[in-house]
């Protein structure tokens, strides 16, 4: 249950899905003004918590379908990055897919708008306090890595 401490040895799993188009832009979403935590701010394409017993890729698929109405098959993918935090970890999936915004079905309880954005646009939004303040370097890393896996440039 959200807000309840996890038993010792259990961890909270958060998933993020970053959808990039063939132009190298990321689909970003604006959170609803009534959302707890970061109301009205822009964020990566999708983010949410896994349910008890749910695998990372199933949580990422479910959250993407719920928030954007976009169906993905991530069963053969692993997260590009896993980042540990106190009590859990974030799994980040990077997807390249040209998506027509007009065909998305936004979850009214979570998402008020979506748009495509370049890294420069996202960094400007962060500087202006309009985007969730991720650590410096995380978003440039995601933009740099969405086309290839691994830490070595090929």
pLDDT in tens, 31-78: 999 998 999 999 999 999 999 889 999 999 999 999 999 999 999 999
Number of H helices and number of E strands within the chain? 3, 7
- The CATH number of the domain where 125 resides is what? 3.90.79.10
Read off the tokens for 15: 């998933």
Q: pLDDT by residue (tens digit) across 100-133?
A: 999 999 999 999 999 999 999 999 999 999 999 9
User: What is the residue-wise DSSP string for 18-45?
Assistant: EEE-TTSPEEEEEEPTT-SSSTT-EESS
Report pLDDT digits (tens) over 1-14. Answer: 666 777 787 888 99
Do residues 109 and 31 lie in contact, with contact meaning Cβ atoms separated by under 8 Å?
A: no
Domain that holds residue 23: 12-145
Asked if residue 153 is part of any domain, the answer here is no
pLDDT of residue 43: 98
Report whether 18 contacts 32 (CB < 8 A). Answer: no
Is 66 within a domain?
A: yes
């Amino acid at each position: 249950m959200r807000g309840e401490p996890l038993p010792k040895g259990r961890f909270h799993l958060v998933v993020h899905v970053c959808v990039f188009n063939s132009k190298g832009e990321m689909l970003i979403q604006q959170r609803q003004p009534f959302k707890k935590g970061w109301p009205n701010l822009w964020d990566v394409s999708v983010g949410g918590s896994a349910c008890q017993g749910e695998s990372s890729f199933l949580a990422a698929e479910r959250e993407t379908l719920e928030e954007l109405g976009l169906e993905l098959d991530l069963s053969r993918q692993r997260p590009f990055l896993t980042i540990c935090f106190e009590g859990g970890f974030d799994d980040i999936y990077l997807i390249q897919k040209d998506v027509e915004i007009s065909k998305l079905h936004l979850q009214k309880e979570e998402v008020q708008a979506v748009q495509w954005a370049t890294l420069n646009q996202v960094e400007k939004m962060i500087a202006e306090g309009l985007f969730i303040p991720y650590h410096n370097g995380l978003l440039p890393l995601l933009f740099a890595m969405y086309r290839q896996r691994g830490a070595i440039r090929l």
